[in-house]
A and B are shown apart, each in its own frame.
Chain A
Amino acid sequence: AQSVTQPDIHITVSEGASLELRCNYSYGATPYLFWYVQSPGQGLQLLLKYFSGDTLVQGIKGFEAEFKRSQSSFNLRKPSVHWSDAAEYFCAVGARAGNNRKLIWGLGTSLAVNP
């Protein structure tokens, strides 16, 4: 079955520290992978996506993610966290059934940033 697992429900880091949010997926075909961020009361904003090619993907706001097929992972990283990065982060895989495409989501990781 297709699924996305984000093992960390909540993470707290200090401002300026590095960050890694974990994402593991289960999908039979070539995965299309996404990271979105959701601020309180807001919709979802795309941070970055992986379709093919270079397994290290650069996104907005200084985020990057690395696709590792052998580990079925797509972890999100940022070298130095800012207080404004506090939000909910969702990993998703684009699944396909015929012509239909939908996103399958993890439960999210809530990030808190200490000053």
Chain B
Amino acid sequence: ETGVTQSPTHLIKTRGQQVTLRCSSQSGHNTVSWYQQALGQGPQFIFQYYREEENGRGNFPPRFSGLQFPNYSSELNVNALELDDSALYLCASSLDSRNTDTQYFGPGTRLTVL
């Protein structure tokens, strides 16, 4: 069984640029959630995708957007990057979107905005 994978591992961008982060969910999982973890902080929920539809969103501006594909892999897109977007971005997949479902995390993508 393949776990959750994310790419790239690290990324450096400059302010104003756009970035796309990718996540492959664990086999059999149809739900993907994205989190932002700033240095020294707990993760903050960005949004969740369930069967290719956005299924909830945290307190992030519209320049944070996402997609989920038919194979349930997912992308996180961030436009007009700001310095404060520098963080570890974590993807988590779960079997379904129910409250009781455990989320399994990938290793994250470390984004640095200069």
| A contacts, CB < 8 Å to B | 4, 32, 34, 36, 42-46, 49, 51, 90, 92, 94, 96-108
| B contacts, CB < 8 Å to A | 4, 33, 35, 40-45, 48, 50, 55-56, 58, 90, 92, 97-108
A49 vs B43: C-alpha distance when bound (angstroms): 17
Structural contact, A94 and B99, CB atoms closer than 8 A: yes
B58 proximity list for chain A (CB < 8 A): 102
Q: What DSSP secondary structure best describes chain A's contact surface?
A: strand
Contacting A100 at CB < 8 Å: which of B4, B35, B56, B105?
B56
A93 smallest CB distance to B (angstroms) = 10
Contacting A107 at CB < 8 Å: which of B41, B55, B99, B104?
B41
Contacts A90-B42, A107-B41 given: A96-B99 contact, CB under 8 Å?
yes
A17 vs B58: C-alpha distance when bound (angstroms): 39
Contacting B107 at CB < 8 Å: which of A36, A43, A97, A107?
A43
B92 proximity list for chain A (CB < 8 A): 44
Structural contact, B48 and A101, CB atoms closer than 8 A: yes
A103 proximity list for chain B (CB < 8 A): 33, 35, 43, 45, 103
Ordered by A's residue number, 18 sampled pairs between the chains whose C-beta atoms are within 8 Å are A44-B90, A45-B105, A46-B102, A90-B43, A98-B56, A99-B50, A100-B48, A100-B97, A101-B56, A102-B33, A102-B48, A102-B56, A103-B35, A104-B45, A105-B42, A105-B44, A106-B42, A107-B42
A106 vs B44: C-alpha distance when bound (angstroms): 10
A51 vs B56: C-alpha distance when bound (angstroms): 21
A104 vs B48: C-alpha distance when bound (angstroms): 13
A97 vs B90: C-alpha distance when bound (angstroms): 21
A72 vs B107: C-alpha distance when bound (angstroms): 30
- With A100-B56, A103-B103 given, name 13 new contacts (CB 8 A): A4-B42, A43-B107, A44-B92, A45-B105, A46-B102, A90-B42, A94-B100, A100-B97, A101-B48, A101-B56, A102-B58, A107-B40, A108-B41
